[in-house]
Amino acid sequence: MIEQLAIHSGPKAVDYDLTPYNHIGEEEAAAAVDVIRSGNLSGYVGSWEPAFYGGPRVQEFEKDWAAKFEVKHAIAVNSWTSGLLCAIGSVGIEPGDEIIVSPWTMSASATAILHWNAIPVFADISDSDFCLDPEDVKRKISPRTRAILAVDIFGQSCKVELLMQIAEEFGLFLILDSAQSPGAVRNGKLAGTQAHIGGFSLNHHKHIHTGEGGMIVTEDDLLAEKMRLIRNHAEAVVATRDWKDLSNMVGFNFRMGEIEAAIGIEQLKKLPSLVANRQEVAKKLAVGFKDIPAISVPETSLSNSHVYYMFPLLLDLKSIRASRTEVFDALVAEGVQGLTAGYTNLHLLPMYQKMIAFGTKGFPWILNPEIAYDYRLGTLPVAESLHRETLLLLEICQYEYSTLDIENTLNAFRKVLGYFLKK
C-alpha cells in the first residue's frame, strides 16, 4: 500500500530543515582577522608598479592555485563573471564576432560575450553529460566565429579533447567555464586546465568560496598578461608599459580584496576533502536511485570524474501518468529540499528573443545585418526538452546531507514515484 502523499495531506518524508552546508572554519576566520589587523585590505594600485598585480595575499593565492591546478598562470578576480570578461577580451574579440556557447549555464557566460559587442551563438547540449555537443558546435561555426565557450556543467568536464580539436581545426580559442567543477578530472587532467583559458567561481554556494571571487587559469603568457591588464584599468598603464597592442585594453576594476584572498588560500587547502564529501553524498544517492523506478542517474564516463555541484536526475515520463510539474510539486510537498525542475535555456530569455541588449536598436546584432540570428524555441531541441520535460536537479552543494537526510530524501522519491506508477 502506497503511503498517502503529503500533497494530499499525508505525512512528509522529510519533516525537518536540512543543515546548510558550511565549510568556513576557524582557519578562514583567523586568516581574515590577520588581514583586518594589518590594515591592508586591498594591495592594488591602478598604475604601473609592483602593486599593480595586487597585494601579498592575492599573489600568494594565485601562486597556490597555479601549483594546485598545475598551470603556469592563475589570475584572481572579484567574480567569475569578471573572469569571463577578462578572458573574452584577451582573445582579441572584435565587434560583431561570434562566440559559440552553451544555453545551459549561468547568464553571465553569454552576456560576457555581449559586453565586448560580440554575439553569442548557442549550440545544443548532449543529453548524456549536459555539456556542449561537439557536433552541433561544429555545425554552428561561421566565418565570424572567434571562440568556443564551453561550460563544465553540474560538476564534470565537457568533451574538452573534441572541442580542442575543433578549435584547432578552425583556428578558434577555447574558453572553459568550470565555475561548477573545481577538482573534477578528465583523462588525468583537472577541469578548466585543458583549453586556452579556463576559470572557476568562488562565490558563496560553490565548492570552495571567498564570498565572491573567481580564478582564471592559462598556460599562455600573452593571454595571462592581457587578462591582468583588463582586470586593473588597462588603459591607465599601457603607455607606461609601452604596450603596443591596444585591442580591448579598456580596463575594469575586477580586483580581488586581501580578505577574500586570505580566505581563498585556506579554502583551497580543503578542496580535496570537500570534493570527496560531495562525491560520497552523490555515491549514496546514486545507489538509492537505482532501485527507484521511472528515474535515472546519468552515467559518468570512466575517464571523467564528477564533483557534483548539482546531482542530475532524468524522469521517464513514458512510465508514469504524470507530468514533471506534478512530480516536482509532490516532491517539494514531501519536504525534498534543494530541488529544481529543469535548468535554463538562455536563448529563450527576452534579451535574445528581442535581440535587444545595448540601447533599443538591436546592438550588437545589427553589426551583422546580413545574418538572421535564430534564437527561437525549437532551435536547441535537446536543451529545451530536458529543461521543459525530464530533468530534475538536487542542489547538493547547499546542504550537509547526513545519512538520514539521504535516506529520507530517497524515501520521498520512492513515495512519490510509487504513487504515480500505481495511479
Three-state SS annotation for 287-309: HHHCCCCCEECCCCCCCECECCC
| 1: confidence class by pLDDT, cuts 50, 70, 90 | low
pLDDT over threshold 70, residue 2: no
| 156: confidence class by pLDDT, cuts 50, 70, 90 | very high
Q: What span, in angstroms and rounded, lies between the C-alpha atoms of 220 and 200?
A: 17
Task: Please give the model's pTM, rounded to 2 decimal places.
Answer: 0.96
The confidence score (pLDDT) of residue 3 equals 82
Q: What is the CATH number of domain 26-268?
A: 3.40.640.10
Q: What span, in angstroms and rounded, lies between the C-alpha atoms of 251 and 90?
A: 11
User: What 3-state DSSP class applies to 397?
Assistant: helix
Give the pLDDT confidence of 159-194 residue by residue, as tens digits. Answer: 999 999 999 999 999 999 999 999 999 999 999 999
DSSP-derived secondary structure for 195-256: SSEEEEE-STTSSS--SS-EEEEES-HHHHHHHHHHHBTHHHHTTTTT----TT----B-PP
- Per DSSP (E only), the strands in 276-352 are 295-296, 311-315, 339-341
- How much of the chain, in percent, has pLDDT values that exceed 90? 94
The confidence score (pLDDT) of residue 314 equals 96
Distances from the Cα of 119 to the Cαs of 109, 164, 204, 255, 282, in angstroms? 12, 21, 29, 26, 37
Cell of residue 352, nine digits? 535574445
pLDDT over threshold 70, residue 253: yes
The confidence score (pLDDT) of residue 422 equals 81
Q: What span, in angstroms and rounded, lies between the C-alpha atoms of 239 and 216?
A: 25
Contacts of 43 (CB under 8 A, 6+ apart): 51, 54, 55, 56, 57, 58, 258
